[in-house]
Structure 1
C-alpha cells in the first residue's frame, strides 16, 4: 500500500492523515440525490468528487464499502421542516404513485452517472425502505431526553442537546447566533423553539406518503434517514461522511446532533465536503434561468449552451478544479476542457504507438512521484492533470524522435497513464468507445482527410498536402506531423 493520504476534515477544519478505524476496511457514506427531478449540474460535482475518492482508496488497496443514499421521502423545505414532501407533491400534480416518481428519476440519475463514468456504490439504500430503522432511531433519542413529542410529531430538543454536547460543531455556529438568525414561521406552534427540527412529522390530511409509528401516522424528518442508514450499513463508527458544502447546515449539523444524542458520539471520523457550482459566476437556480440538467448539457439544448458537451468533458472539467474550490461553468471553460481532454487522449494514443529504444532520456518515476503526491494531498486532481499534461508533451517529443524510452520504461509509462487517467480520475476515451457527443462526429472525416494527405506526401504532392492541412486549420483543427504519420487536435 502507498503512503497514507491526507484529507481535509471539515469537522476539525484541517488536513489529517487518513487512518481508517479498521484497516484495510473503509466505510464511506455520501448523501445522494433527492429523486424528484432530472439530474443536473449540481449532482455532477459530488458524484465525481466521491467517485474520485472511492477509486483512489481502492487503488491504494483499501476495501471500501461505499454507501450512497437515495432520498425518496421526507425531504422537506430546508428552512422550515414543514410543508409537503417534494416527491409527494410531484406525484399529486402528475397523478402518479410517489414511488413511480422516485423510480423514474432514480433511473434517470443512474443513466447520467453511467455516462459520467461514476462507479456504482457498494450499497444504495432508499429512505422509504428504512422507515423502521428511522423510527427506532427516534425512539432512542426520545428515551435519552433529547427530543419531545408534540401533537403527533417528534422534535429534536436542540437546547437540551446543547447543554450536554455542542450544537454547531460542524458549521462553526453557536446556538446564540442560530437563535438570533432564526425567524419564526407560521405553522410551527408544535415546536418549543423555532430552531428545533423534526425527527418525525405527523401527516396532514391528504398527505399521501405516511407510515404508522408510535406517535401516529406520519413520515420521517429530512435529516433522520442519513443517521439511520449510515449506522445500519457501516456501524456506529465509520470512516468518512461526504456531501456537498450546501448540506453542512442544517442537514449534516442536525445529523451529527441526532447521532450523538442516540449513540453518545458522532458516527463519522472524517467529514468531507465538495464546494459549490456556479454558472457564469451566478448560483444555479430555476428562477435565474441558468438551471441546466445533465441531459441538456450532453445534448446542447439549453439556451445558455453554445454546443453539446460530452460526459467526459464534464467529468474532466470537474476534476480540473480542486473539490474544495468553487467551480464556475461557462461555455469558454467547457470548451477549454474539451480541448484539454482531447489533447490528453491524443497523448495516450500516441504513447501506445511509441517504439522502444536502447536508452531512456526521461524517467517515468518522476510522473509516478508527482501523481502519487498530488492524490495523497487531499485529492489534488488538478495537479495530477498538470503532471499528465507535462508528460504528454514528453510523449509527443518522443514521437518526434527528441525523447526515447526503453521497452520497460514505455510499459511503466503506459501503466501510469492508465492508472491515473483511467482508473483513478475515471476518464475514458470517448472517441475510442463511441460514447462521445458534441463535435466528435468529425473524427472519421478528419482521419479520412489525413489519409489523403499522407498519400499526397508519399507522392511528393506538397501542394495537395498543404491544401489539406490549411483547410483543416481553417476549421479549427491543428495537424501535427510525426515521423510515422500525422496526428491532430482541436484548436
Structure 2
C-alpha cells in the first residue's frame, strides 16, 4: 500500500497528512513577482517548485485552483515604511507610464515561466485590480480595534493583536525580540509601536501610484494584497500558501495576523516555503556578483559560467534537490544535470516508440515484473513524501535501466507482461512530462543536418547513382525542401 501524501507544514514544523478542506478541491496561493525588474533565479526556483506541486496534485486527481498574484501597486520596500517606489522610479527613468513598466516585466516573467515549461496558474490577479477590497479589509481591521490611523496612514496594532492571538507563530519570532531589534526607520514616529506594520500608507507628493481612500490619497501596504486576494478567490481558510523562505517573515507572518484579525480564523492549513540558492557554497546575491538571470544561464553570458545551459537542464538541476533544501549552483553540477536530463529524454524517446508484443514460449518473470511495479510505486512514495522530486528522479533512473534493456533484448516484454509494461510506460512518461514538467528540447541544427544530406546528394550525383539522387530529392521534398542544381553548386529552397 502506498504511503499517503504528507506535507512539511511551516506553521507546525512537522510533516502532516494532506487532507484538503473541501476535497477534491484544493486551494493554493503562491506569492507572485513584483514586476519592476527581471525575474531572478530565486523566484524561478520557487515558481518551478510550486508548478510541480500543482502538477502532482492534479495528477492525483485533485481539482486545484492555483492563484499566483502580480504585485504591481508600487509598494515601498522594507515593509512599506522606507525606501522608494520601485515601479515609479523605473517609470521616471524610462519616461514611461508605471503600467507600461508593469506590462513589460509581467510579460518577461511569463516568458521565463514558459521557457521553464511551467503551467499558468488558474487565476493571476493583480494588486491594482483589488484596491477596493484592500480598503475594505483595512476598514474591517479598524472596526475590530486592531488598526489605527496616523497622519493619513493606517497601521496594524501588533500588541493589541497579541492580547488574544500569537504574532510570530509562523516564523518563530518573539514579539519582545522584534521590538528590541526594530531599526529606526522613516515613518516610525507615526506608529504606536515600532513592530506595527503598514496596512495603508499616505502617498507622498512624489509617489506616482496612488489611490483615493477614506484616509486620503495613498496605497496599500505590502502584506495586504495577498491576504485580500487569497480570501477573495480561495475563501477565508484555504489549503496551501507558499513562497520563498525569505517571505516567512515579515510578509507571511503579517498576512496571517491580518487574516485572523479580520476573520477570526487561520487563513491557511499548510504553509510551504522554498529554500535559498547558493553559488559554489556562497549565498547568491548581486553584491557578490554571483547572481544569474535566467537568460544568462541560457546564453552562458556570465563570468562564472563555462557554457550555456538549456532551460530544461536548469529545471532538471533544480528538481534534483528537494524544494526545502539549499540549492548550490556550480558548473560541475549543471554539467552533470545536463547529462542526466539527456539520459531521461533518450529513455522517454525509446519508451514512447515501444508497443507491447507477445512472444511464444516466454513466460512472465514474476521477480522482474515485481521489481518494475515496485519502482513505479516508489515514484509515488517519493512524491508523497513532501513532493520529494530528488528521490523521484532517482527512481525514474532505476526505471530507465529497465527501459534501456528492452532494445538490447536483455529484457523481453513478454517477461514482464502487458499490464506491467503499460504501467512502466505510463509512470515513466507521466512523471517526466506531466508531474516534473520536463520536455524534450530539440537542439538539432536543422540547416546543419540539411548540409549533411546535400553532401550525400552531391556524392550520389558524382557516382551517377541516380536512384539515390531521386530518393534524397523526394524525401527532402516531403519535408518541404527543394534541391536546386546551380552552376555554382547545389542550393536549396523552401517548396512554394
Structure 2 length-normalised TM: 0.85
Work out whether 1:308 is the aligned partner of 2:316: no
Distance 1:282 1:442 in 2: 40
Matched residue, 1:290: 290
RMSD: 2.2
Matched residue, 2:237: 237
Work out whether 1:417 is the aligned partner of 2:425: no
Distance 1:51 1:447 in 2: 40
Work out whether 1:395 is the aligned partner of 2:403: yes
Distance 2:281 2:408 in 1: 42
For residues 15-414 of structure 1, the aligned pairs below 5 Å read: 15-78=15-78, 81-354=81-354, 356-358=357-359, 359-361=363-365, 362-363=368-369, 364-406=372-414, 407-414=418-425
For the Cα contact (< 8 Å) 2:188–2:194, is it kept in 1?
yes
**Cα deviations by residue, 1:114-172 (Å, 9 ceiling, x for unpaired):** 11010000000001111001000111111101111000000111111111101101001
Matched residue, 1:428: 439
Distance 1:23 1:391 in 2: 32
**Cα deviations by residue, 1:427-475 (Å, 9 ceiling, x for unpaired):** 11112xxxx5xxx6599769979xx9xxxxxxxxxxxxxxxxxxxxxxx
For the Cα contact (< 8 Å) 1:158–1:167, is it kept in 2?
yes
For the Cα contact (< 8 Å) 1:278–1:326, is it kept in 2?
yes
Matched residue, 1:461: none
**Cα deviations by residue, 1:469-490 (Å, 9 ceiling, x for unpaired):** xxxxxxxxxxxxxxxxxxxxxx
Judged with a 3 Å threshold, the aligned counterparts in structure 2 of structure 1 residues 333 and 216 are, in CA distance, closer, same or farther, namely same
Distance 2:72 2:364 in 1: 57
**Cα deviations by residue, 1:296-346 (Å, 9 ceiling, x for unpaired):** 111222222211111111111111000110011111111110000001111
- SS of equivalent to 1:399: coil
For the Cα contact (< 8 Å) 1:34–1:72, is it kept in 2?
yes
The Cα of 1:383 is off from its aligned counterpart by: 1.1
Distance 2:131 2:242 in 1: 22
Moved more, 14-23 or 396-405: 396-405
For the Cα contact (< 8 Å) 2:72–2:128, is it kept in 1?
yes
- SS of equivalent to 1:240: strand
Distance 1:313 1:47 in 2: 16
Distance 2:132 2:241 in 1: 22
- SS of equivalent to 2:161: helix
**Cα deviations by residue, 1:363-383 (Å, 9 ceiling, x for unpaired):** 231222110111111001111
Matched residue, 2:464: none
- SS of equivalent to 1:105: helix
- SS of equivalent to 1:288: coil
Number of equivalenced pairs: 443
For the Cα contact (< 8 Å) 2:161–2:261, is it kept in 1?
yes
Distance 1:444 1:11 in 2: 55
For the Cα contact (< 8 Å) 1:360–1:409, is it kept in 2?
no
Judged with a 3 Å threshold, the aligned counterparts in structure 2 of structure 1 residues 32 and 376 are, in CA distance, closer, same or farther, namely same
For the Cα contact (< 8 Å) 1:2–1:60, is it kept in 2?
no
The Cα of 1:175 is off from its aligned counterpart by: 0.5
Distance 1:360 1:51 in 2: 39
Moved more, 9-18 or 83-92: 83-92
Moved more, 317-326 or 186-195: 186-195
- SS of equivalent to 1:286: coil
Judged with a 3 Å threshold, the aligned counterparts in structure 2 of structure 1 residues 446 and 270 are, in CA distance, closer, same or farther, namely farther
- SS of equivalent to 2:308: coil
For the Cα contact (< 8 Å) 1:74–1:220, is it kept in 2?
no
Distance 2:450 2:388 in 1: 35
Matched residue, 2:488: none
Distance 1:218 1:446 in 2: 62
**Cα deviations by residue, 1:186-242 (Å, 9 ceiling, x for unpaired):** 442111211111000000012110000000000000000000010011111111101
Distance 1:164 1:126 in 2: 32
Distance 1:12 1:441 in 2: 52
- SS of equivalent to 2:29: strand
- SS of equivalent to 1:430: coil
Distance 1:302 1:11 in 2: 39
Which is higher, the Rg of structure 1 or of structure 2?
A: 2
